[in-house]
Amino acid sequence: MVSTGSYLALSGILFAIGMYGVLTRRTAVMVFLSVELMLNAANLSLVAFARAWGDLTAQTAVFIVMTLAAAEVAIGLAIIVTIFRKRETTNVDNLSELKG
């Protein structure tokens, strides 16, 4: 069987790639896609820990994370659509001030 460490290393690499995307991409939708990568890295390590400990608790926590991600996408994309209607752009550099 593949060791738990290999899965955790893959999860860490995935998380770092997602972090790079969050820091460098300039469209709000692309920042969201990178956040999804980071959430999935967390899910991968949760499932790996569930297998290492023989306990279903961590696998169940994955469902909570997935639901949170779905809610985040629903509300976040609604905010992006609203901002796009007002400002005609979703470039995060132009959205740096919190004026309506």
**Touching other proteins, residues 56-95 (CB under 8 A):** 56-57, 59-64, 66-71, 73-75, 77-82, 84, 90-91, 93
Alpha carbons within 13 A on the beta-carbon side of 81? 6
Show Cβ contacts of residue 11 under 8 Å, excluding neighbours closer than 6 positions.
Answer: 41, 42, 44, 45, 48
Nearer to other proteins, 56 or 98 (CB): 56
Interatomic CA distance for residues 4 and 43, integer angstroms: 14
Nearer to other proteins, 3 or 99 (CB): 3
Nearer to other proteins, 70 or 99 (CB): 70
State the Cα torsion 7-9-10-11 to the nearest 10°. 90
- Shortest spacing between CB 32 and other proteins, in angstroms: 7
- Shortest spacing between CB 79 and other proteins, in angstroms: 6
